[in-house]
Chain A
Amino acid sequence: MQGIAALQPYVIALFLVWAALMKLFSRRMRAEAGRTALARLVGSARAIPTLRLVGVVELAVAAALLLPPVTPEEGAAAAVLSAGFLAYLAYAYAAAPTSSCGCLGAHSHPVDWRAFARAGLLCAAGVAAIWARPYPLDPPLVALGLVEVVALLGLSAELDRLWLSPLRQLLVRLRQPLAVRSPAEIPLEVSLHLLYLSPAYCSASAQLTSDVQDVWDEDGLRFVVYGARERTAVFSIPLAGADPSTVRVALT
């Protein structure tokens, strides 16, 4: 337990430095500050100064956590900061459900369970850090710290485009989940596209008053029926082939 507690200041500091640097130096984040839940909370005119202030506080807490001596107050400060983030997320979720949180970088995802899980994990880490004492780092402890960092990074929607989207793209390429299973079936839309391009449809379209009333396939043709004022328009569209001039129409 001692080792785990001793690890937490480093983990928290890493994320606080990241958050602070994004808030203080990211031009894109400043540009999008007006669209975050923070703008809703403090007003869009004060969003950027507030963002900078939070960044400075985060940097100060991170510095205190990283620099000796290790005191319980540092852990408490980190826990309070994380609890503040949780409260802010709850506010964002309730008051501005479509806004992004503006926590660790610019992105357009609204607050979801991952944002809460990350803030909750950081808050728990802050509480654990209260009991942090100088402790020698050994390989299992470093591995544990890495797992914790990876979990926190995995919960960060800001980084999705770097790993989650490429991973999903790769899986889709390997698994082909949308591969056609019944190629013999020709969707109606394919026939209708040919119909819309045909001289027959152009000549009759002004008469049409309804959408497709009936459709059936017979003898390699697809018959499509429309209402045409008091009458009926029937088109025959070849199922194979792509020549619009082969479409025929009759008004009955």
Chain B
Amino acid sequence: MTSRRQMLKSALLGGGASVVAATALGSLGPEAAFATAGAPEVEPGTVDPNFAEGRIRSIKDNTLLVLGSNMVFHNIRVVDGTSLWKLGPVPFEQAKPGDGLYARGVRMPDGVLAAEAVWLNIVNIKGHIKNITSDKIHLDHNGQEVLCHVVPGKSVAVHSESPPSADLSMLRVSQHVQILGAWRPDTNEVDIATVFSPH
């Protein structure tokens, strides 16, 4: 890993940095997991073959067997170039049976989805803050309490249009927020990636 990092670093700082043609595809960050399929070749109303969602049933070598919410099975292959997100970039070992996922990639002729990006347990919930206790936000989401954990060094808050900040102390009880985070499977608990608040 270190040698690869050194190689990438030297490519960047050694003067050989190349800048490619400018277009605007937009971000492929966690928010992109919720973006509507931008691929123009997908007919409206039909399934995007290059996307899969569901929960991991089993993991064999580098392949995830995933059961979709529509009860369709997906085989998702994770390769060296696949990014995995679980509250941040994680290695493949962090994917566990029971995890929910969204995956984008390229559908192979044999039906396997060769994943380019996999987001594990990613959730995007809105609600109002019922209470704030030590490193926890108790979120009321349509009457259901969701316990949101602040993870030091990872969780950030975006107030209105301001840049993200590790300081979440501006959040107030009874204000409305949107939380992007990682669900802890089979619980009502979430680790916070970003809290968006309108003010």
Contacts and interface: CB of A to CB of B under 8 A. Distances in A.
A248 interface: yes
Contact of A177 (B82, B119, B132): B132
A214 B3 CA distance: 13
A205 B153 contact: no
Nearest to A194: B163
6 contacts: A177-B136, A186-B166, A187-B166, A206-B22, A225-B8, A234-B8
Contact of B88 (A109, A188, A194, A251): A188
A218 B10 CA distance: 12
Contacts of B82: 210, 213, 227
A177 B156 contact: no
B19 A169 contact: no
A211 B28 contact: yes
Given A178-B169, A212-B29, 16 more contacts: A168-B174, A169-B173, A177-B133, A180-B166, A182-B152, A185-B152, A205-B28, A208-B25, A210-B116, A212-B88, A213-B81, A223-B5, A227-B81, A232-B81, A236-B13, A250-B12
Interface in B58-105: 81-83, 85, 88-89
Nearest to A188: B88
A227 B166 CA distance: 27
A32 to B, nearest CB: 14
Interface string B179-192: 00000000000000
Interface of B: 1, 5, 7-9, 11-13, 16-30, 32, 81-83, 85, 88-89, 116-117, 119, 130-137, 142-143, 150, 152-156, 163-169, 171-174, 193-194
Given A169-B174, A178-B168, A203-B22, A190 B156 contact: yes
Contacts of B21: 203, 206
Interface in A223-252: 223, 225-227, 232, 234-236, 242, 248-252
Given A108-B143, A168-B132, A250-B8, A206 B25 contact: yes
A186 B16 CA distance: 28
A209 B131 CA distance: 39
A171 to B, nearest CB: 8
Contacts of B131: 168
B173 A187 contact: no
A135 B7 CA distance: 91
Contacts of B23: 205-206
A63 B152 CA distance: 58
A204 B19 contact: yes
Contacts of B85: 211-212
A183 interface: yes
Nearest to A181: B152
A232 B169 contact: no
A201 B153 CA distance: 24
A185 B166 CA distance: 9
A137 to B, nearest CB: 38
Nearest to A111: B143
A236 B9 CA distance: 8
A138 interface: no
A152 B156 CA distance: 39
Contacts of A252: 7-8, 11
Contacts of B32: 211
Given A177-B135, A187-B154, A250-B8, A209 B28 contact: yes
A172 interface: yes
A215 interface: yes
B12 A172 contact: no
Nearest to B85: A211
B83 A211 contact: yes
B172 A187 contact: no
A211 to B, nearest CB: 4
B151 to A, nearest CB: 9
